[in-house]
Amino acid sequence: MRRLPAAVVVAGVVLLVLVAAHPVAGPVSGPQREAAEGDDTGIELLREAAYAGRTRSYTGTRLVTTWGAAGPSSALTHVRNVPGEGLTVRAETAAGAGTVAVGVDPGSPAAGLVSPSDGMLDVLARNYRVETAGTGTACGRTGRFVQATRADGSPAARYLVDEAGGVVLRREVFDGRGTLTRADAFIELSVPQERAAPRMSGHAWYGGPSLGGGPPNGQVAHLRQRGWDVPAALPGRLELFTAGETAEGYLHLGYSDGLSVVSIFVQRGTLDESRLAGWHARSRGGHTIWIRGLTGFEAAAQQVVWASGEHVYTVVADAPADMVDAAVAVLPHQEGIGAWEQVCRGADRLLSWISPFA
């Protein structure tokens, strides 16, 4: 009998070991992958709820409650959604029912962010662990809880999705310490057509295509070339989703972490504090900011104003207070224009006066 070469024998042994090890590795990795997919079932349920909130007609009464530094503030709103036309929100005030918004996107802050777009849900899934968390009831309807959890295990938000109608019955947002800061809850809801609507794919309801990412890099670079400060992100995992200079000459930046929305408006000029009626100056981190106490539906959005250099910053946010404070802290806070900047500007002006090409 002819003897096999030693190299062939070694190769055969290695192959046998690999084949023998493969069945062992399979059962170990399989359950782990299935468990990871199980964790993501919450985001799929939220996508279904967001889709239902855009494509189904419903009317109801929603209670919006915010817990701020001045205590809780509640507002009763009447909402009506018509697919293709948008959501109409009317808020109960002391003088009657005031219309807040007509035909707005159900994923907008005016609609309570209860039907976020696909792009916003992607950001939510990227920043938080989203998983189902049992069942519950609200306004006599049964639903399933979906909880968004931070990396440290603290809750960031909790949704109750209606099993029959598919819309979000209740939405709660927590701050970094796990304290409830806002709750949007239906106390009455009517969904005439409760059967599932055909799922559209690739586009958000009647609006344009859902933007998967933030603003184009070229657009941000253009704004920075024009002298605007455009942070790509803010503390609290806030990602830039829109940036643009309006025809009125101010800058609008929008940030979101998938749960909250922070809008920043920057105007060129100095803050005319004498005309800030109803605003109160506060010191935060050695800087002076202006806030004002709002009631009713307007209290859901925090508003902060301050001046930095020759710019006036205004922050309007549907976000927990600690997230707003952290965002405000990292934005520019200059007492005035710097001496060197003023010298440089003077040199530019002198050069422009002298140079015939300027």
Q: For the segment 253-282, give every residue that binds another protein (CB under 8 A).
A: 254, 256, 261, 263, 265, 267-272, 275-276
Scan for tokens 């599932």, then name that residue. Answer: 196
Q: 55 or 256: whose CB is closer to another protein?
A: 256
Q: Which of 132, 241, 323, 331 binds another protein (CB under 8 A)?
A: 241
What is the rounded CA–CA span in Å between residue 162 and residue 179?
24
Please say whether the beta carbons of 158 and 150 come within 8 A: no
**What tokens does 336 get?**
């005035």
Segment near another protein (CB under 8 A); pick from 19-27, 60-68, 164-172, 302-310:
302-310
Examine residue 229 and tell whether it contacts another protein (CB under 8 A): no
Q: Which of 137, 179, 193, 342 binds another protein (CB under 8 A)?
A: 342
Q: Which of 63, 104, 321, 329 binds another protein (CB under 8 A)?
A: 104
Which parts of 169-208 interact with another protein (CB under 8 A)?
Answer: 204, 206-208
Q: Which of 96, 202, 218, 356 binds another protein (CB under 8 A)?
A: 96
Examine residue 60 and tell whether it contacts another protein (CB under 8 A): no
In the bound complex, what is the minimum distance in angstroms from residue 343's beta carbon to another protein?
5
Contacts of 133 (CB under 8 A, 6+ apart): 42, 145, 146, 147, 158
Examine residue 107 and tell whether it contacts another protein (CB under 8 A): yes
What is the rounded CA–CA span in Å between residue 319 and residue 237?
12
User: How many CB atoms within 10 Å of residue 200?
Assistant: 12
Three-state secondary-structure class, residue 238 = strand
Segment near another protein (CB under 8 A); pick from 32-40, 149-157, 188-196, 290-298:
290-298
Examine residue 301 and tell whether it contacts another protein (CB under 8 A): yes
Q: Which of 15, 21, 151, 343 binds another protein (CB under 8 A)?
A: 343
**What tokens does 279 get?**
């605003």
In the bound complex, what is the minimum distance in angstroms from residue 11's beta carbon to another protein?
54
Q: Which of 212, 221, 334, 358 binds another protein (CB under 8 A)?
A: 212
Calculate the dihedral angle through the C-alpha atoms of 307, 309, 311, 312, rounding to the nearest 10 degrees: 0
Count of positions on this chain that bind another protein (CB under 8 A): 82
In the bound complex, what is the minimum distance in angstroms from residue 96's beta carbon to another protein?
5
Q: Which of 103, 140, 178, 285 binds another protein (CB under 8 A)?
A: 103
Q: Which of 24, 28, 247, 354 binds another protein (CB under 8 A)?
A: 247
Examine residue 22 and tell whether it contacts another protein (CB under 8 A): no
What is the rounded CA–CA span in Å between residue 86 and residue 105?
6
Please say whether the beta carbons of 316 and 108 come within 8 A: no
Which parts of 110-149 interact with another protein (CB under 8 A)?
Answer: 110, 116-120, 122-123
Backbone phi, psi, residue 92, to 5°: -75, 125
27 class by beta-carbon count within 10 Å (0-12 exposed, 13-18 middle, 19+ buried) = exposed
Q: What 3 state SS string does 138-160 have?
A: ECCEEEEEEEEECCCCCEEEEEE
Which parts of 309-328 interact with another protein (CB under 8 A)?
Answer: 310, 312, 314, 316-318
Examine residue 46 and tell whether it contacts another protein (CB under 8 A): no
Q: 118 or 172: whose CB is closer to another protein?
A: 118
Segment near another protein (CB under 8 A); pick from 10-18, 141-149, 160-168, 344-352:
344-352
Q: 173 or 261: whose CB is closer to another protein?
A: 261
Examine residue 38 and tell whether it contacts another protein (CB under 8 A): no
What is the rounded CA–CA span in Å between residue 82 and residue 191?
11
How are strands ordered across the β-sheet holding 155-162? 86-93, 71-82, 58-68, 180-190, 168-174, 155-162, 141-149, 129-138
Residue type, 28: V
